[in-house]
Amino acid sequence: MKILVTGANGFLGYYLCKQLLLQGYKVLATGRGECRLPFTSSPSFNYISMDLADIDQTRTVVSQLNFDFIFHAAAIGKPDDCELDKTRATAVNAEGTGMLLELIANTKTPVCYISTDFVFDGKEGNYAEDGLVNPINHYGVTKAQAELLVRAYPGDWSIVRTVLVYGRPMTGRSNLLSIVQEKLTQGQTYSVVDDQIRTPTYVEDLVAGLLLLLEKRALGVYNLCGEEILTPFEMAVKTAKYLGLNHELLIRTSSASLQQLAQRPLVTGLKIDKAKEELGFMPRSFEQGLMDTFRPH
Ligand SMILES: NC(=O)c1ccc[n+]([C@@H]2O[C@H](COP(=O)([O-])OP(=O)(O)OC[C@H]3O[C@@H](n4cnc5c(N)ncnc54)[C@H](OP(=O)(O)O)[C@@H]3O)[C@@H](O)[C@H]2O)c1
Does 51 contact ligand 1 (Cβ within 6 A)? yes
**CB of 173 closer than 6 angstroms to any ligand 1 atom:** yes
CATH 3.90.180.10 fits 2-166+201-225, yes or no: no
pTM over 0.85: yes
pLDDT in tens, 162-189: 999 999 999 978 999 999 999 999 999 9
* Closest approach atom of ligand 1 to CA 118: 6
Q: 266-282, pLDDT tens digit by residue?
A: 999 999 999 999 999 99
Which stretches within 119-268 are classed as H helix?
A: 138-151, 176-185, 203-216, 232-243, 255-258
Q: What is the DSSP letter of 221?
A: E
Averaged pLDDT for residues 135-148: 98
- Test site for ligand 1: of 57, 82, 165, 204, most ligand atoms within 8 A of the Cβ: 165
Taking the C-alpha atoms of residue 93 and residue 254, their distance in angstroms, rounded to an integer, is: 28
Q: What is the pLDDT of residue 38?
A: 97
Ligand 1 within 6 A of 77 CB?
yes
- Rounded Cα–Cα distance for residues 203 and 107 (Å): 30
pLDDT in tens, 281-294: 999 999 999 999 99
Cα–Cα distance, 151 to 159 (Å, whole number):
8
Average pLDDT of 29-57? Answer: 96
Separation CA 138–CA 119 (nearest Å)? 10
Question: What residue ranges do the domains of the chain occupy?
Answer: 2-166+201-225
pLDDT at 4 exceeding the cut of 80:
yes
